[in-house]
Each structure stands twice: as structure tokens, then as C-alpha cells.
Amino acid sequence: MSSRPLPLTAQAGRMPPAATLRPPRRAARAETPEPLPVMRPRLPSAAEILPYLQTIDEARWYSNYGPLVTRLEQQLARRLGMTAGGVVTTANATAGLTAALLARRAPAGSFCLMPSWTFAATAHAARAAGLIPWFHDVLRNTWALDPAAVRETMKRLAGKVGAVIVVSPFGAPLEIAPWRDLEKQTGIPVVVDAAAAFDTAGAAPIPQVVSLHATKILGAGEGGFVATADPELRLRLVACCNFGFLATRSAMLPALNAKMSEYHAAAALASLDAWPATRALHLRIAGWYRQTIARLAGVSLQPGYGDGWATSTTSIILPRGASERVSRHLRKRAIDTRAWWGQGCHVQPAFADCPRGPLPVTEELGASVLGVPHFPDMRERDVDRVAEALMNAM
Ligand SMILES: *Cc1c(COP(=O)(O)O)cnc(C)c1O
């Protein structure tokens, strides 16, 4: 998966003089190529965070829903246009998912239907809430669960389904209404893993869990939040993130400590100040990739990628089975790649014993999807270099 850094010496001279997208730049080729990392996050600078830190010094309030966390929750709720319910900040999205499952009273020991085509955190979070991950296949044209297919599976399953986690693939927008219908018709709660979907998550009663990890598009180092338009659920969520305490110091609900500290809220607020600029940088990169990848035969982008929504990663689809070879080819040219979700969760040892249905699309994606360089200060010529290397590899 993750590629080790390779020595870069003498690689440039060995680059094959194959067809290029643009006229070859001979001068640049003679030099050792500058390494292109698959990701290089950039969070707010110390100077940008400092004014927030100074308010912490003054308030002497460091965690437990202090002034900065409260401000962040209000700003996020306003941004989502929430008139009811609101946002609950969390230590990270994984803990936020567990807290959301607990707050939705998903019964321990039941199955939690989820895609295998996701990051390991989704399955870990269900386990931590006492549920058993049950891996479902995704649709090829969205990379996400299909509500109709999930409903059919639920009818056939012998064991009890206690919850469904729908995952936004790499931040792609999801249609929430069909999941709301499924909830109403089956009584089974749905939670959205919108970890990478800061740009596309919306306000709905179904809780949407967003990550503020450094690698996501709005970074706070570690952090996350849950948005729900259901006011009662929001209160239970706060309790489930804070030892199960509601009005008193008596634990009323199964819970964890998933609170965000004031220091992380400081970083998150500074990130939020820069959000319009950050979003524009990522959309610009997406635009460059859309243009160049469209010219490559046999390579395509994640469905809907860059179509009015921004994310912090770029994943391409290669011919089945080619990703390993292409990754090696790019590495020789100092271009880092990563199969962000590997071959799915079901092949990972920690989840080998989890029940699952047939996973043909997941297997196909696992053998053909590869993350390519994407970082905020990436330049157009970097994207061209990736595309050129891809073309040579194909
Ligand atoms: C990043 C990610 C997570 C985990 O988020 P953390 O804030 O690091 O806990 C969960 N699910 C998906 C789909 C992710 O991409």
C-alpha cells in the first residue's frame, strides 16, 4: 500500500522517451525529478492559530465543551444552514462514529451493515460500539452503498441488523433521502461516515460524521464532528462523547470520552478561517486532473470527482490488476501513490472473521483504484508530470 521512499539517484536518465502529453522538456528531464508525495497536508500556521490560543490562556478552559469548541460548533452549524439540532465536535471521526452508533441505540451484538470499500476506521468504530461489521458491496458508478440493495440484503439476513453505516467515498456527495426512507420503513438507524466529506456533508436528521484529521480537506491535526438536525439526538450525542453524562455526573448511556480539546478547536477555527482559499486550491487541482486524465486511454477518475465538490485526495481507476505495476512505474519517477482503501476492509486481518455478502465491485475497485499525488500547493506542471508518467506506464 504505502510506498517506501526510494532513492532518487539516476532515475531521471532511465526515463523512457515515450510519447508525452506535451513536448518533452529536455532540460527538466536531465535533472533528478523532484519527489511528488501522494499527500502533503498544510494546516494553519502557528501565527494563524495564536490568537485562538491566547483566548485559551485567558479563559483557562481547556476541554469539556469550552468557549472555542462551542464557537466551532456554532460556526459549523451555521455553515451547514442548520436550524434544528446542530454540531457536536469529537476527538476524531472514528470516535464520532462510535458515539453516533451508541447515541442511536444500535443494539450491541447486532450486525452493522457497511461497505467493505472504506477506510478501516468505519469497521473499527462499529466494533467499538459493540456491533459486528457486515460487509456489503458498493455500486460501481458511485463507489457507495445502494439503498435498494441494502434493503434486499436486510430482508434475507438471518441475524439482527442493528445499524447501517453509509460511507461517502473520498468525500463524494451522498443522497440522504433514500436512507431516511429506509430508516422509516425498517426502523434501523443509519449513520453516515462523511469523514472526508467536509465540503459535501449537509444538515439532516441522520447523523453525518466528518473528520478534521490533517489528511482531510479541513484539518485540525486530529478532530471531527457529528452534524444532526435532530435536537434530541444531538443531546444524546454530547452525552455519548462525554462518559454518558446528561444533566448530572451519573452515567446514563453507554459512552466514551470523545471530546475535542480547546487546542484542537483553535486549530480547527484557524482552518475554517482559511476554508474558501483551501477549497479553491483543491478544486483547482481537481480541474487539472480532470483535464489531463480525460486525455488518457484506459485511465479514469473516481465517479463525479471534482464535479463541484472538493476533496483532499485524487483516486484514479486503472485497468483491473494494473495498479501495482503502475504504482511501481510512477515510484521510479519519484511519484508517490497510495491505494487509500487497499482492497477493502474484508481482506484486512482484523476483519477477516466479519460476515459479508458477495463483493465483486469492491474486489474490482481494490484491484484498479490508485491514489495519485494531491496536496494544496501542487502545481499544474506536477499534475502534468503525473499524467505523463501514467501515459508511459499504460
Ligand atoms: C479518515 C477517515 C476516517 C477516520 O477519521 P479520523 O478522524 O482519522 O478518525 C473514517 N472513515 C473514513 C471513510 C475516512 O476517510
* Mean pLDDT of all residues belonging to the chain: 93
148 and 231: one domain? yes
Q: What is the pLDDT of residue 29?
A: 53
The model's pLDDT over 132-145, given as tens digits with 9 standing for 90+, comes to 999 999 999 999 99
122 and 220: one domain? yes
How many A from CA of 93 to the centre of ligand 1? 6
The model's pLDDT over 241-294, given as tens digits with 9 standing for 90+, comes to 999 999 899 999 999 999 999 999 999 999 999 999 999 999 999 999 999 998
Confirm whether 135 is domain-assigned. Answer: yes
Cell matching residue 209:
460524521
Residue 257 phi, psi dihedral angles, 5° rounding:
-100, 105
Confirm whether 56 is domain-assigned. Answer: yes
State the residue for C-alpha cell 445502494: 146
268 and 136: one domain? yes
> Could you tell me whether strands 190-193 and 86-90 are parallel, antiparallel, or unpaired per DSSP bridges?
unpaired
pTM of the full structure: 0.92
The model's pLDDT over 26-57, given as tens digits with 9 standing for 90+, comes to 555 556 789 999 999 999 999 999 999 999 99
Q: What is the extent of the structural domain holding 291?
A: 275-393
What does the pLDDT average to over 319-328? 93
Confirm whether 226 is domain-assigned. Answer: yes
Assess whether pLDDT exceeds 60 at residue 201: yes
What does the pLDDT average to over 60-87? 97
Confirm whether 309 is domain-assigned. Answer: yes
The secondary structure of residue 357, as a DSSP letter, is -
DSSP bridge pairs for 172:
none
Cell matching residue 83:
436550524
Confirm whether 244 is domain-assigned. Answer: yes
H helices of 60-130, where?
67-79, 93-103, 120-128
How many domains are contained in the chain? 2
Confirm whether 374 is domain-assigned. Answer: yes
378 and 242: one domain? no
**Torsion angle, alpha carbons of 226, 119, 164, 82, to 10:** 20
90 lines ligand 1 (CB under 6 A): no
Q: What is the pLDDT of residue 195?
A: 98
- DSSP character string of 326-337: HHHHHHHTTB--
> At which of 234, 251, 273 does a domain end?
273
196 lines ligand 1 (CB under 6 A): yes
| Cβ within 8 Å of residue 5, ≥6 positions away | 35, 336
153 lines ligand 1 (CB under 6 A): no
**Residue whose C-alpha is closest to residue 40's, from 379, 384, 374, 386:** 374
Q: What is the Cα–Cα distance from 191 to 179, expressed in whole angstroms?
A: 9
> At which of 252, 273, 294 does a domain end?
273
Confirm whether 321 is domain-assigned. Answer: yes
216 and 298: one domain? no
How many A from CA of 376 to the centre of ligand 1? 19
Q: Which band of pLDDT confidence, cut at 50, 70 and 90, is reported for residue 2?
A: very low
The secondary structure of residue 242, as a DSSP letter, is B
CB distance 96 to 225 below 8 Å: yes
Assess whether pLDDT exceeds 80 at residue 82: yes
DSSP bridge pairs for 227:
87, 208
Q: What is the pLDDT of residue 72?
A: 98
**Atom nearest to 213 CA in ligand 1:** 7
197 and 316: one domain? no
230 and 346: one domain? no
219 lines ligand 1 (CB under 6 A): no
Assess whether pLDDT exceeds 60 at residue 218: yes
**Atom nearest to 96 CA in ligand 1:** 9
Assess whether pLDDT exceeds 60 at residue 13: no
167 and 204: one domain? yes
Confirm whether 150 is domain-assigned. Answer: yes
CATH for 263: 3.40.640.10
Q: What is the Cα–Cα distance from 39 to 22, expressed in whole angstroms?
A: 25
Q: Which band of pLDDT confidence, cut at 50, 70 and 90, is reported for residue 12?
A: very low
Rounded percentage of the chain residues whose pLDDT exceeds 70:
92
Residue 142: Cβ-neighbour burial (10 angstroms; 0-12, 13-18, 19+): middle
279 and 261: one domain? no
Assess whether pLDDT exceeds 70 at residue 20: no
Q: What is the Cα–Cα distance from 26 to 326, expressed in whole angstroms?
A: 23
> At which of 243, 273, 303 does a domain end?
273
CATH for 306: 3.90.1150.10
DSSP helix/strand/coil, 313: coil
What does the pLDDT average to over 163-182? 98
Q: How many CA atoms lie within 13 A of 220 on its CB side?
A: 30
CB distance 115 to 138 below 8 Å: yes
Q: Which band of pLDDT confidence, cut at 50, 70 and 90, is reported for residue 232?
A: very high
118 lines ligand 1 (CB under 6 A): yes
Q: Which band of pLDDT confidence, cut at 50, 70 and 90, is reported for residue 23?
A: low
280 and 203: one domain? no
225 and 287: one domain? no
Distances (CA, A) of 364 to 197, 215, 319, 320, 323: 23, 25, 10, 7, 11
256 and 154: one domain? yes
How many A from CA of 302 to the centre of ligand 1? 18
Q: What is the Cα–Cα distance from 270 to 265, expressed in whole angstroms?
A: 8
How many A from CA of 40 to the centre of ligand 1? 17
